[in-house]
Amino acid sequence: MSKTYDENEILEKEFDFGNAVRNPYAKELKKQITIKVAPSVIDYFKEESQRTGIPYQTLINLYLTDCVRNKKKLDMKWVS
């Protein structure tokens, strides 16, 4: 008769997690979202992607990250 183990038991037997350290970058992991973006914006970043060799979604993330790091403020008014 064979004994069955759950996944955690197998991990604990195979690996020593005694000195494990939490990932300091875990809070910076990317989060998937859905947003509506104008086709011209997507086209622009896709063209930049072709020019730079960097995926367009990465370029968008880099641009937004730059806005956050530099605390860029919007200078516009919403008119309805």
Q: What is the CATH number of the domain that holds 62?
A: 1.10.1220
> Once rounded to an integer, what is the mean pLDDT over residues 39-66?
96
Nearest to 58 by CA among 24, 39, 26, 30: 30
Count structural domains, the chain: 1
Estimate to the nearest angstrom the gap between the alpha carbon of 24 and the chain centroid.
Answer: 15
Q: pLDDT for 7-44, tens place per residue?
A: 777 777 777 778 888 877 777 788 889 999 999 999 99
Judge whether 11 lies within some domain.
no
d(CA 68, CA 15) in angstroms, rounded, equals 39
Judge whether 16 lies within some domain.
no
